[in-house]
Chains A and B, each alone.
Chain A
Amino acid sequence: MRKVAGMPAKVAFERSVAGVVLVMLAIWPVVFNGQSYWVSTILTQTFVLGIAAASLTFLSAYGGMVSLAQVAVYGTCGLVFGNLVATGEAKGLHLGWDRWTSVVAAIAITTGITVVIGAVSSRSSGIYFLMITLTFAVIGNAFFTSVVDFGGFSGVAGLDSYTPSPVGNPNTQPARLYYIGLVLSVLIYALIRYLVRTPFGIALQGVRDEPVRMRSLGYNVPLIRTLAFALAGLFASLAGILYAWTNGAVAPGTMNLEQTVNLLIIAVIGGLARIEGAWLGAFVFIYLNTELFRGNTVPVLGGTFPTFIGFIFLAIVVVSPNGLLGIWDAIARYLFGGPRGGSREPLADLLHEVAGRMRLKGGASTRPREQE
């Protein structure tokens, strides 16, 4: 494997690209039009959905838990916030609390709920964990649809008028929410990267790989899983607050089955093995949905957007289970050399095979792929 400045060439390249992307994102509203659709919607929504997807990816990549409850968590947080803060014409409880108090209370309440969900779900794994979290997602949707006092099917609207002063008016000052989303995304990414190197993170990965052995070593496996779930709930709750501010309304439709599947698609497209895949997947999903799908059918190919994204999802699952970042990993190994992927990476294997036969960089190593 080639090295640049003491680090693997691939890592050096990725960090350079990340730096350039971050600088571009930081100056985007200043250089380009701060009021544009790109700032107000495409990129801001990328940050919001990226944070929500990161909560899913965090659980999957480091805890081995694929949760379908993350959309319900951010929808719940948005609805709790809406009910606490709104007053006047908006549907819901009309409590009219202070804006910051409402934000903190909504995050605390929702994170508390995720502790309970996590405690219930933590003793299961695999398909059973998936089903339990799906059940909670469906319950969340049905609960808020049925309980009209919380807004019912219509949800709570007009929330863009209830932003704290630093956030400003998302309609006339979209750049502020954009920067808040960007900063939160970077902070959450950094926090996850830090956490997975702490004793808690190491234990979580141990629970992911060998839960029985971890239990026999004296670790409280359900507690570790519950804590991870609560942490992911905190991230999803933050996404819920941003969602409420950006869209101005939250309804049970925000957390229905379609949205649940969409978040899973986002995480899978980006790559469930790496946190940054969450934002990449969110960007690709939103970009395709808004820029390519400008009418009601996909140009040239025909069909509606769900059909189109469904095919992409299928292709990703078949060709590169680790999503677009999995494809990049394969290309990077081809370019920079490095350990080959396992049988979970058909595209990576194929490229590696080609590389080997052409006697380029990288050998036919059978070492397990590098873990975080």
Chain B
Amino acid sequence: MWKLGLPLAVVAIAGVVAGTSLAARSAASPIKVAIMTDCKGAFGGAFEVDTGGALAAFAQYAGGKPNDPKKPSAGITGAAVAGHPIKIVGYGCGNDTVPLAISETKRLMEQLGADIMIGPLSGDEAVTVAHYAVSHPKKTFVIGTAGSQDPTLQIHPKNLFRYHGDGAQWNAGIGEIAYKRLHWRKAAIIMDDYSFGWTSAAGMIADFCGIGGQIVKRVFPPLNTTDYSSFIQQLPPPSKVDGYFWVVGGTGTGASLKAFTQAYGKLKASQFIGNLFFAFLGNFSEVAPQLVGSYVGGFGTAPGLQTPAAKHYEGIVAKWYPGLNGGNYADGFVYNYFNAAWALIRGLKAVGGDLSQGQKLLQSHMPRTNASGYQVSSGGLVHLDSRNQAIQDQYPLQIVKTGGKLGVSLVGFVPNVDQTFGGLFKTTSPPPSEKQPPCVKHKFPWTGKIRVIKNGHITNQVIK
């Protein structure tokens, strides 16, 4: 009897073990996602805005429901992909500095055990996260909104993706506008002395020099400078140059412009072009009225663009988080985090939420294109290049005054801007810095193809 009983018992135990193991495998394990942004420092105010952008995508495309439509960081419930619940394990709280970016990344990925990170927010933080991604190939990172070039061009870990442009891409086309519309030939540039300042300035320098302009002076105030008078003195006076490219952010925008007025009197709008920081008019409200008419580099977004895709995107965010960012859904913080989360969801759906094999399957199935709301070229699809970096339309802006109120308006459409600027920036070239890039003539894919935007509509007329 025992001779029969033993094999039966073995089979029964094997069956139970196999059944348990099968059940465990088929049980939908949660997908743990962390959202990394800033809640302190210069961009601390973007914390809820970034979070809202990302969670709106989880609500729209993964079936989640915001716990509090007025406070995105209250989280969502019910989001899932292929039966795998999406669990937002934590919200990173950076302050724009490297040390906190490291500790917050470790907290989210190691202590809270996130599988995937959406973030971070700023340039140096993204460099830090890219280095972290290199040494953690079994995790996946989708940059939230960060403008440094290094993470994808020089460092380019295979498990890191960026579905928006870098700071240089955001300024594509602005040099050509300066050259053609304002007839600038010689210009000076003042830039915040750190990764984002350099990358943002690199776009302006490359674009302006590419078409034949000359940068005669580069000035670098350290970040968080309060007294800009000595840096203004380093700039050539207004009579010696045709204009100034202004790449000073945060409270520095107003302080530096004010220092300029103290040295040279009232600002002449046609002599100033700012990067995206000129679009944050509240940061320099005292001198902003003098800059009505100044051109502004973009943020990869198109506020006021009248296309169905743009309206659709804005409608989604308004549906889940009405009034987010004061109703300005075209802000790059909202838009870029939204697209990052959306692309991630699409990648997860493509693999049925399977994070096995060290997430290799997910990383190889992350979408190579995304139908981002403000993309018009290539059938409305943003494409990733071989280094997982977006090739994206850009939209130069202009400071305008309508109904007595200051704002920014779309002026141009620069199609399909790639990170290399048509081969000018290379994987082997040094990242943007005080001396990089040099001022050289170069033909870009978009040179002579920047189209005029009128009342939010892209026309066939090119900027001359």
Q: Select B102's contact among A40, A145, A148, A248, beta carbons within 8 Å.
A: A248
Known: A91-B431, A157-B131. A254 touches B99 (CB 8 A): yes
Q: Is the CB of B135 within 8 A of A251?
A: no
Residue of A nearest to B112 (CB): A294
Q: Which residues of B contact A155 (CB under 8 A)?
A: 98, 124
Quick one: which of A289-327 are within 8 Å of B by CB? Answer: 290, 294-296
Q: Which residues of A contact B91 (CB under 8 A)?
A: 295-296
In Å, the complex CA distance between A160 and B106 comes to: 14
Q: A171-184 interface mask toward B, CB cutoff 8 Å, 1 = contact, 0 = none?
A: 11000000000000
Q: Is the CB of B99 within 8 A of A247?
A: yes
Q: Is the CB of B99 within 8 A of A290?
A: no
Q: Is the CB of B434 within 8 A of A154?
A: no
Q: Is the CB of B98 within 8 A of A249?
A: yes
Q: Select B98's contact among A161, A171, A253, beta carbons within 8 Å.
A: A253
Q: Is the CB of B223 within 8 A of A153?
A: yes
Q: Does A37 contact B (CB under 8 A)?
A: yes
Q: Is the CB of A172 within 8 A of B135?
A: yes
Q: Does B291 contact A (CB under 8 A)?
A: no
Q: Does B136 contact A (CB under 8 A)?
A: yes
In Å, the complex CA distance between A153 and B134 comes to: 22
Q: Does B73 contact A (CB under 8 A)?
A: yes
Minimum CB–CB distance for A285 against chain B, Å: 12
Q: Does A365 contact B (CB under 8 A)?
A: no
Q: Which residues of B contact A251 (CB under 8 A)?
A: 97-99, 124
Q: Which residues of B contact A161 (CB under 8 A)?
A: 134-135
Q: A53-74 interface mask toward B, CB cutoff 8 Å, 1 = contact, 0 = none?
A: 0000000000000000000000
Q: Is the CB of A290 within 8 A of B111?
A: yes
Q: Which residues of A contact B127 (CB under 8 A)?
A: 154, 157
In Å, the complex CA distance between A247 and B99 comes to: 8
In Å, the complex CA distance between A172 and B134 comes to: 12
Q: Which residues of A contact B431 (CB under 8 A)?
A: 89, 91
Q: Is the CB of B193 within 8 A of A41?
A: no
Q: Is the CB of A148 within 8 A of B98?
A: no
In Å, the complex CA distance between A91 and B434 comes to: 12
> What are 24 A-B contacts defined by CB distance under 8 Å?
A41-B106, A89-B154, A145-B222, A148-B433, A152-B193, A152-B194, A153-B124, A153-B222, A154-B124, A154-B194, A154-B195, A157-B127, A157-B128, A171-B136, A247-B99, A247-B102, A248-B102, A248-B131, A249-B128, A249-B131, A251-B124, A253-B100, A256-B97, A294-B107
Residues of B within 8 A of A (CB): 39, 47, 73, 90-91, 93, 97-100, 102-103, 106-107, 110-112, 123-124, 127-128, 131-132, 134-136, 150, 154-155, 193-195, 220, 222-223, 431, 433-434
Q: Which 3 A-B pairs have the closest CB atoms?
A: A253-B97, A153-B194, A251-B98
